[in-house]
Structure formats: structure tokens, C-alpha cells
Structure 1
Amino acid sequence: MQDTLGAFLPGTIIQRPPHRSEPLSGLSFAVKDLFDVGGDVTGCGNPDWAASHDTPETDAWAVDALRGAGATLIGKTITDEISLGLLGINKFYGTPLNPRAPDRVPGGSSSGSASAVAGGLVHVALGTDSGGSVRTPASFCGIYGLRPTHGRISVAGLMTQAPSFDTVGYFTRDAQTFSRVGAVLLGEPIADALLPEIVIASDCFALADAPAWDALQPVVGRLGNATATHSLPLADGELLDWARHQRVLQKSEFHATFRDWIDRVNPRFSSEVAGAFADDGRITVDELAAAKAFRAAAAKRLDDLLDGRRMLCLPTSPILPIARNARLSEIRAAVNRIVDLTCIAGLTGLPQVSLPVATSGPIPVGLSLIGWRGGDAPLIAAARTLARDFSIGLFEEQP
């Protein structure tokens, strides 16, 4: 395979065969460089991390699950440095190409995985999602992406950065493959079902820039013809408070994860990643307590709203992907805007799927559904139903 997209880490196209032949026989997959693959160091997107850690002997749970279901592992894909990013930029290994918008970023931190799938190098790719690292590149590259219910898919053998947020997610180009892989990783069938009631999160759409809003509105209108929908604001108060509290919690956790390693190794970082550690994670006890209380209240609010029978509809990202050569100030502003919406599922631990439903000119725009807690299989089934009944995918479905 020729990596024409810069999606794979140099020297990591390793071609590991499946353990068995079903039910994913014939599918190839790639894994983000946070997953252990036996015999290859887990580099975490940073050469100093790779140099200071031992090579794992066994595969991560999710890697083993896909190989055990008949899929062939092709190699390891680029991630933002130590997975702290939402745009797909890596100072050391480069920025993978966005096949749908080559002059724009692919989204991160599961950037290489999304690029490899969107560009047709593999059928499936594993990513991780803490603050939006599957959902954002799925939207930017025009593919399907799942962030599961927190804890639903094992993170064994995964380099985690913020344990109360980290999840194992994945990408595909088409809804049928999306469903097949979901059944394996969830360990349950994806049954056909009627679309549930859909709640349109009006305050989430209000945060979207005009190009994203304009692209998504026709699809949202079509949803109303397919199932019961109603529109209401998600937040009881200021929606941006959700992102503010997520930043406090996630920052506290990733500082705890990396502080000792940084102190011991003094690693090289890009200025953007180094800036995330500049204050040594100083968060007051009161700030942390307030964020934890807010998270509990937000989770209850969404659990009550969705009630095991509704799904929430919102833009995956409020912005289109920015230019590959964007200035540092634009990068920081874009990340903050993205988190304003990706924080919702991250803060509450709920499953979310990004659907490749629309474009603004040639640029993909993803629409998201957030499901009820543990409702990952119905969420994937809803994606498959929409793809079949609305022909919303940007790619033709694979057999």
C-alpha cells in the first residue's frame, strides 16, 4: 500500500493478519498511535514519548477484537502530539491530508485514522475520543465516526490522557461497514429499528457559523419528515458553561497523566501543546468541585431528556475545517469553538455519532446524533437507517 496521504507513521505499515475469518473478513484497518500493537512501540504522537517507553508485547483490546473478527491490520496512524489536539496538526510527523478538502486540516487528534479511511487506504480505523477526537475528524473528512458511551468499549492497551473522558471510537466510509464493526466492538447485534424521536438542540445550532448552519438545515428538515422531532435549547442557562467546566476537568486529568513524564524527560513539544502545560495545571479546589457538580447535573439533565427513547441532534462542529497553514491564533480559536459542542457528550459520557450528511461547497459538514447512555447499538442503527432511507452518505456504500 502506498501512503499517499501522509496518514501513517513512517515505518509502521506492518500488515498483521487476522486471527480468524469472520465476521469482518476482507476488511482492512488502521489504528491510531495510542493503541498498543504487539512488537511496535506506542509513540503517542511524540518521538520523546516513543523513546522513553517500552515496546508492548500484546495488542490493545480493540485491536485484538478486530483481528479476532477477521480484519487485517495495516498499520499505525498519526495522532496529534500526546493526543492533545482537535485539528490534526503534528509538528514532528506532519499533518495528514484531508482527502475531501486538501487545503484544510483533517481534524484531530485521530487525524491519520480519519484520513486513511476517507482516502480509501483502509476500510476501518480505530481512533480515540476524549474531547472530540473522533467526532471532529469524522465531520471534517466526511466519514462516519462513533464516540461510544464512556466505558462501553474497553480501553485496555490504550494510552489514556483523561480517564474520565477517554473512549475508543472508530471511522468508516459507509454505514454498512460502520454497523458491522460496531457489532464487533460492542459485542451485540445492530438490529433494525424505526428512528426514535429526535430532539433538535436549538442552542447548539445557534453556535454554528453560517456555512455549517446553511449546509445542515435541509437535512434537519428532512428528519422532520421521517420521525417525530421537536426543537428546544439543551442548556438550562448558558451553553458555553458546559465547555468551560469540561476544560477544567480534562485539564486536571491530563496534567495528572503527563506531569511526571514531562518533569523526568523534558520532552520536545510544539508551542501549542507546550502552552497546555505552561501553568502546571493549577486549578483550585473550588473550581474542580464546581466542575464535578456541573458534570453530574448535566448528565442528569441529558439522561432525563433522552430517557432511553430519544436522540439529540446537533452540528458535529460549529465551524468548517480551517486552512492547513493557519496561524497559531486561528488554531487556538478553532479548538475553542469546536469544544463548545463536542463537550456535550464528553462531559456527560453519552454516545455520539457523526454522520456525513452535507457539504458546504466541496467541504464536508457532519451532523451528530447523541444517544442515551448505553444506547450505542440503537445509535449505530439510526445511522444505518438514515443512510439507507435518505442516501445521506458522501460515499457509495461498500458491499
Structure 2
Amino acid sequence: MRDALGAFVPHVDCVVQGSGSGPLAGMTFAAKDLFDVAGYVTGSGNPDWERTHAPAKRHAAAVKALLDAGATLAGKTITDEISLGLVGRNQFYGTPLNPKAPDRVPGGSSSGSASAVAGGLVDTALGTDSGGSVRTPAAFCGLFGLRPTHGRISVKGMETQSPTFDTCGWFAADADTFAKVGEVLLGAPIADGGLTRMIVASDCFAIAEPEVQAALAPAAEALGGLFSAVREAPLADRDILDWSRNQSLLQRGEYTKTFRPWVERCVPRFSIEVGTSLALGALLAEAELVGPNAFRAMAKARLGDLLGDDAVLCLPTTPILPPRRDEPFSALTHSVSRIIELTCIAGLTGHPQINLPLAHHAGIPVGLSLIGPKGSDERLIALARQVAALTRSCSVGSD
């Protein structure tokens, strides 16, 4: 395969034929380089990680599921180093191209997977999402992407960083392909019905950039037509930014524990952003996480009460447009902080969240999200198919 996008790990020629039959027969997929493929080292976006780990003995559960369903693995895709990133930069292997906005970053850490799908190199691709690593590149590259209910899809054979946040997700450029892959990974048919109310998160929209708000307004209005009841309400009882502050501390505490033994044993090379994140995490005391854990319990109760079993929360996937590729380090660091302001919600609570590629600003993709009740993954995907039908019949959320 000719990879003009820089989406695939350049030195890993990893092609595995599917079973030859099944619901995904004839399709191709890519796997983020956090998923084990038998006979290959899972590189995790860092050459020292690759150097200090042995080849996988078996396929990750998600990779095996797609192969068994007939799809062929086309290769491994670039990830931000050890999955710690949201813009898609990798100083060792490069930043994949965003095919929908070439002067902008693709989003991360599932950057290569989103780039490969958006550029038409594969039909679908596996990604991981702890703090927003499927939802962000899906929004930036104009794709369907799902962070599933926490624990819904097996992460066996997937390199994890923050166990109470880690999930396995996937990308597709069209809703039908997205649903076919979803049925395989979720192990259940995509069923309509049951989600009848939409709550527009007023405080989440309020912190978005004006360009994002303007692009999403018509899309949210059109989407509301699929529900019997629509209303605006704030998600947070107080400050919505409290959610990201607490989520960031919890996730940092977890990934620092995950990587500390390897860091101390191997003294690996890191980019400044990853090294800084790990250094800050090492300074966290357990006592500093007591308050964030209590906040998480409150957040779960708040969102659960708000949604019940029949409502979705509508919000921007990210509050900002994808940053330019040539932005300085300080600006990209600020962008990461902004992105987390909204991606933190599903991570804190374990709820499923789907990105819908419904809008643009000056040709740049802008993603609209729906967060559903726990276990409503199939129903969110069914809504995505309805949205696709709606957009085929009228122009929604475009320039």
C-alpha cells in the first residue's frame, strides 16, 4: 500500500488476511499500534518501547474479531507516544496527514487510524480512547467514531494506560460501514428505538469557540428532529470545567502507575510533552486523588440521573477547531487542555459517546457528539444511520 498520508508505522509491514467469509468480507482495516498482532512487536509509538518488548504471541481481541469476521488487516497505524496525546503528533514517526484539513493536525492519539480512514486507505480502523483519543480525531477528520461504554468491548491484547478510562473504539467514513463493524465488535445487532429525548448541554456549548458554536447550531437543530422531546440544560451543577480538572488528575495518576516500572527500568526517550506529563504524574500523592474520586462518583450520578434510559446529551465533540500543524509547542499544549474540557465527560462517567461528522467551518470538520446511557452503544449507532439518511436528503451543518 502506498501511504502518502504518513498514517502507518513506517518500518512495520504488517498485513494479515481475514477469514475470507463473514459480515466484513472484502473490507480492510488498520489497527492502532497499541493492538497486538501475532508475530509483531506492539510499538506504542515509541522506539524504546518497541526495543524493550517482545513480539505478541496472539492477536488482540478486537483485531481477532475483525479478522474472524472476514476483514483483512492492512497494517499498524501511528499513535501519539504511549497514547499520551490528543493532537496526533509523534516526534519519532511523524504526524499523520489530516486528509480533510491538510494544514491541521489529525487529532490523537489514534491519529494514524483516523487519517487512514479519512484518506480512503482502509474501510475502518481500530483506535483507543481514554481521554478522547477516538472522539478527537473523529471530529478533526470528519469521521464517525465511538467511545463505547467502559468495559463493553474487550481490551485484551491492547496496551492500556489508565484502566478505569481505557476503551477500544473504531472509525468509519460512512454510517453503514460504521454499523457493520459495530455489530462485530459489540457482538449485537444495531437496533433502533428507545432514545426519545435530547438534552442540549448549554454549558458545554457555551465554552466552545464561536466558530464551533456557529457551525454546530444548524446541525443540532436538525438532529433534534429525530427526538420526541428536546430541551436545553446545563450538565454541571456548578462549573463545567471542574469535570476536566478532576478527570485530568485521575487519569494522570493512573497512567503514571502504568508506565513507572518501564520508565525506571529502561530510561526511555520521550518527547517533551510526554516526559512532562509523566513527571507531573510522579508528583501526585494518593491523598490528592481522594477529592477527584469523590467528584467522579458525583459526576456519574449526575449524568445518570439526567439521561435515565431514554435520553442523549448533545454537545460539541471538542470545543475548538483542529489546531494548525505548525503551531508551537505551547499553543498545542493549550489546545490539549481545551479538548479535555469536553472529552472528560464520557471518560469520567463510563458512558458511550459517538462523534457525528455533521458540520464544517471554512471547510474544516467540526464534530457533534451524543452521549447516551450506559449500554446504549447500539442505539447511538442506529441514530448515526438515521442522521446519515437525514444528511443525504438535506444539507446539515455545512458552510
TM-score category (smaller protein): over 0.9
SS of the residue 1:231 aligns to? strand
The CA distance in 2 between the partners of 1:104 and 1:252, in whole Å, is: 30
Q: Distance in 2 between matches of 1:389 and 1:221?
A: 12
Distance 1:81 1:234 in 2: 32
* Structure 1 residues 126-149: Cα deviation after superposition (integer angstroms, max 9, x where no partner): 000000000000000001000000
Alignment of 1:350-369 (within 5 A): 350-369=351-370
Alignment RMSD = 1.4
Is 2:62–2:154's contact at 8 Å kept on the other side of the alignment?
Answer: yes
Structure 1 residue 235 corresponds to structure 2 residue 236: yes
> Which structure 2 residues correspond to residues 85-96 of structure 1 after superposition, within 5 A?
85-96=85-96
- AA partner of residue 298 (structure 2): A
Q: What is the alpha-carbon distance in structure 1 between the residues aligned to residue 370 and residue 281 of structure 2?
A: 35
Q: CA deviation at 1:285?
A: 3.4
Segment drifting more, 7-16 vs 61-70? 7-16
Question: Is 2:314 the counterpart of 1:305?
Answer: no
Q: Kindly report which structure 2 residues correspond to 1:1-399, keeping only aligned pairs within 5 A, or say none.
A: 1-193=1-193, 196-227=196-227, 228-391=229-392
8 Å Cα contact 2:142-2:367 kept in structure 1: yes
Cα shift at 1:393: 11
What SS does the aligned partner of 1:333 have?
helix
CA spacing shift, 1:105–1:387, aligned 2, 3 Å: same
SS at match of 1:48: helix
User: How far apart, CA to CA, are the structure 1 residues paired with 2:326 and 2:391?
Assistant: 36
CA displacement at 1:287 relative to structure 2? 2.1
Give me the whole-angstrom Cα distance separating, in 2, the residues matched to 1:393 and 1:265.
56
Moved segments of 4+, more than 4 Å: none
| Letter paired with 1:132 | G
Change (3 A) 1:145 1:7: same
Name stretches of at least 5 consecutive residues in structure 1 with no aligned partner.
395-399
What is the identity, as a one-letter code, of the residue corresponding to 2:291?
A
Q: TM-score, normalised by structure 1?
A: 0.97
- Answer yes or no: is the 8 Å Cα contact 2:196–2:311 preserved in 1: yes
Question: C-alpha separation between the residues in 1 aligned to 2:78 and 2:226?
Answer: 39
CA contact (8 A) 2:88 2:110 kept: yes
Counterpart residue identity of residue 62, structure 1: A
Aligned residues of 1:356 and 1:392 also touching (Cα < 8 A): no
Tell me by how many angstroms 1:20 deviates: 4.4
Question: Could you tell me whether the CA contact under 8 Å between 1:29 and 1:123 is conserved in 2?
Answer: yes
Counterparts of 1:85 and 1:119 in 2: how far apart (Å)?
A: 21
- Which structure 2 segments of 5+ residues have no match? none
Instruction: State the shift of 1:40 in Å.
Output: 0.7
Question: Counterpart of 1:397?
Answer: none
How does the TM-score come out when normalised to structure 2? 0.97
Using the alignment, how far apart are the partners of 2:49 and 2:137 within structure 1?
A: 24
Distance of 1:251 and 1:280 partners within structure 2: 5
The alpha-carbon distance between structure 1 residues 220 and 392, as it changes in their structure 2 partners (threshold 3 A), is farther
Tell me the CA shift for residue 120 of structure 1: 0.2
Pick closer, same or farther for the CA change 1:195–1:149 going to 2, 3 Å. Answer: closer
1:358–1:392 Cα contact (<8 Å) kept: no
Question: Amino acid of the residue matched to residue 186 of structure 2?
Answer: L
Distance 1:364 1:353 in 2: 15
**Identical pairs, percent:** 58
